[in-house]
Structure 1
Amino acid sequence: MERLRHDDPTQIGPYATLARLDAESAERTVPERRYLARGGDGERTVLVCVPRVGADPSRWALEAEGARRLSVPGFLQVAEVGGTAGFPWSAAPYTPALPLPAVLAAYGGPLPEDTVRGLGAALARGLAAAHAGGVTHAGLSPASVLVTPGGPLLTCFGAARAGLAGLDPGCVAPEQASAEAGASWPAGDLFALGAVLAYAATGYTVPEQSELPAGLRQLVGACLARDPADRPASAHALLRDLAPPADSAGPAGTAEPRASADPRRPARAGCSTSGGASNAGGDGGCPAEPNPAAPGGFAGTAAPGGAAGAALAVGGQTVLDQAAPPLLLPGRVVAALAAQSAALLAAELPAPQQAFATTQKVH
């Protein structure tokens, strides 16, 4: 939570801005401008977002509307979209939240491995639910992860599709950087998730392998593979690696691998590992091919409202059966969240602007 600058808007739609969410030092790697704001009646506090200066406002507005229509666990629930063609905005109900860079600043450095794993499991679960519904996030970066008392939330939906400005370069998959505008694929989300985990564990999105904790090197390295075929098969598979379910543990307590039609490609809702079922496109057991024209970036996109309930069936489980463990936050991070909440509660609405009255000369 940072003080407003002279070039920040004092009013966004019906909301009076109170503070910036992001520190000025992190501005270069934040895909949008984010403010804590309050309604004129003082009853509602929200997180309100607007495009970066120089961004395409129409493309940003398109992605903001897409986020509003989504209902995916672990994604920020956008409640309102408004504004004009030149200055669109979106708003979500406020909950105490710190961007991941602010979390590391509050903690005083990289996070413990258990915390990184919990963070990764929660993010992978959200991505798996989205991918099962045919939706890619295409905007994952340290700044787009908001850590709340209830777990992390993914924001900046579609930032890569709207243009790469503001995205940490280390989070952009090679195929995403060279893709046509508007294209995105699940493998790109997995690359970005690997970069986010690397950042949480080291403070860098592109660290040396030796800087990573030994228990995370193989997992993060696989996510950051330049060839999408060498990355984890799906967000669901990554979730199993981060937090293996108890019922899949073998005698030694390790997770048993599950079969898939092609381990190099993400499984999809309605695709069978044996080829006996058909997906929405009728191609029987094969994941959908990338389609830049489809909403969310690849073919077979489901209606946005149904993404949360979509089932990614692997080995008899759905992705929503794979509950991520609670994210246990270090005490210093909890204290920073509490301080933000207290400061916001104490913040007063800006005084109404007085109408400018011209003085009249008395002769």
Structure 2
Amino acid sequence: MERLRQDDPARIGDFVTLARLDADGSRGVPERRYLARSADGGRTVLVCLPPAGGDPARWAAEAQQAARLTQPGFWPVVECGGTSAFPWYASPYRPALPLPAVLAAHGGPLPEPLVRMLGGTLAEALASAHVLGIVHGGVCPAGVLLTACGPFLGCFGAMRATAVAGASATPATWLDTGCLAPELAAGAPVDRAGDVYALGAVLAYAATGHTVPERQEIPAGLRDIVTACRSRDADRRPEPARVLAELLPGAAYGALAGSTEPVSLPGRVVAALSRQSAEVLAAALPTQER
């Protein structure tokens, strides 16, 4: 687990913070995320706050919307609280690593079969949302949380909450990740095509370890579909269902996102998930306020 800093909150609502989910100095993280436990010790959660310098009201509105969603593959939001100046939301804890931490644990880019599973599952989640007119608007490497049962999309609406109004106002979060589609940088609203562009950026990062790799850096088997997702022309980007079909030919639609069955992960990633789980279980609540 990542140590708390002196400026981190000791309490968020009814929860006592135990550690930060994201490593110190992590870039491209659109929320402040903490592993926390209820004061009575009965509940362990992942609790999230808006980013420093962000608009708390816009962020809280997206969190409320996320709490109403039941889409498979979306990280669940079960409780929202706080004030207009200090909103938060909480999700039940399960061992999970943000995608940058997955690459760090693995020691570099992920193997192609894992990238295909990751991308196919995320594409299926987006497809199930897009058919209902729901745009995620927060797809980025840090927003992908990998569990023993596969990836989930967190940070719902994070891009909308930053109120992108043009390149000069684009938050560093999205520039750092390469997930901001050109039309969004020019001020267009976040839409389904923007989700697909961001998905392509996530896959490119998972396969290369770079946020904006050159085409030739992407493994040959993934190059065409990743390049199509990252097309500068929004109309030329594939629908998520096609991304799923390209990455996992023959996969049964509806069998991936939100699965409760374990998936095959590299040993060092499994070890990192297990280590986090053990440290959270062993963490004691502070005996006094920090």
TM-score, normalization by structure 1 = 0.74
Structure 1 unpaired stretches of 5+? 248-318, 355-363
Corresponding position of 2:288 = 352
Choose from 270, 273, 284 the match for 1:337.
Answer: 273
1:124-176 deviation digits (Å, cap 9, x = unpaired): 01000010111011111100000001110111111111115333341010111
1:211-222 mapped onto 2 (5 Å cutoff): 211-222=217-228
Structure-2 separation of matches of 1:94 and 1:353 = 23
1:281-340 deviation digits (Å, cap 9, x = unpaired): xxxxxxxxxxxxxxxxxxxxxxxxxxxxxxxxxxxxxx5378799742101000000000
Structure-2 separation of matches of 1:20 and 1:34 = 6
Structure-2 separation of matches of 1:96 and 1:65 = 24
Corresponding position of 2:190 = 184
Corresponding position of 1:19 = 19
Structure-1 separation of matches of 2:143 and 2:98 = 7
Choose from 220, 224, 244 the match for 1:239.
Answer: 244
TM-score, normalization by structure 2 = 0.92
| Runs of 4+ with deviation above 2 angstroms | 164-169, 319-327
Corresponding position of 1:77 = 76
Structure-2 separation of matches of 1:203 and 1:69 = 34
- The question of whether the paired residues in 2 share the 8 Å contact of 1:118 and 1:326 is answered with no
Structure-1 separation of matches of 2:216 and 2:263 = 25
Corresponding position of 1:200 = 206
- The question of whether the paired residues in 1 share the 8 Å contact of 2:245 and 2:251 is answered with no
Corresponding position of 1:55 = 54
Structure-2 separation of matches of 1:218 and 1:353 = 53
Q: What amino acid maps onto 1:111 in structure 2?
A: L
* 1:142 and 2:76 correspond: no
- The question of whether the paired residues in 2 share the 8 Å contact of 1:107 and 1:333 is answered with yes
Structure-1 separation of matches of 2:127 and 2:6 = 41
Corresponding position of 1:173 = 181
Deviation at 1:184, TM superposition (A): 1.5
Corresponding position of 1:210 = 216
Q: What amino acid maps onto 2:178 in structure 1?
A: G
Structure-2 separation of matches of 1:178 and 1:51 = 24
Corresponding position of 1:269 = none
Which structure: larger Rg?
A: 1
- The question of whether the paired residues in 2 share the 8 Å contact of 1:115 and 1:327 is answered with no
Corresponding position of 2:89 = 90
Secondary structure of the equivalent of 1:147? Answer: strand
Q: What amino acid maps onto 2:246 in structure 1?
A: D
Structure 2 unpaired stretches of 5+? 163-169
1:9-47 deviation digits (Å, cap 9, x = unpaired): 000000000000001131x31001000000011010000
Corresponding position of 1:277 = none
Secondary structure of the equivalent of 1:161? Answer: helix
Secondary structure of the equivalent of 2:25? Answer: helix
- The question of whether the paired residues in 1 share the 8 Å contact of 2:50 and 2:88 is answered with yes
* 1:38 and 2:37 correspond: yes
Q: What amino acid maps onto 1:206 in structure 2?
A: V
Corresponding position of 1:100 = 99
- The question of whether the paired residues in 1 share the 8 Å contact of 2:178 and 2:211 is answered with yes
Structure-1 separation of matches of 2:289 and 2:193 = 50
Structure-2 separation of matches of 1:333 and 1:169 = 22
Secondary structure of the equivalent of 1:71? Answer: coil
Q: What amino acid maps onto 1:179 in structure 2?
A: G
Change (3 A) 1:230 1:24: same
Structure-2 separation of matches of 1:246 and 1:56 = 40
Corresponding position of 2:7 = 7
Change (3 A) 1:322 1:106: closer
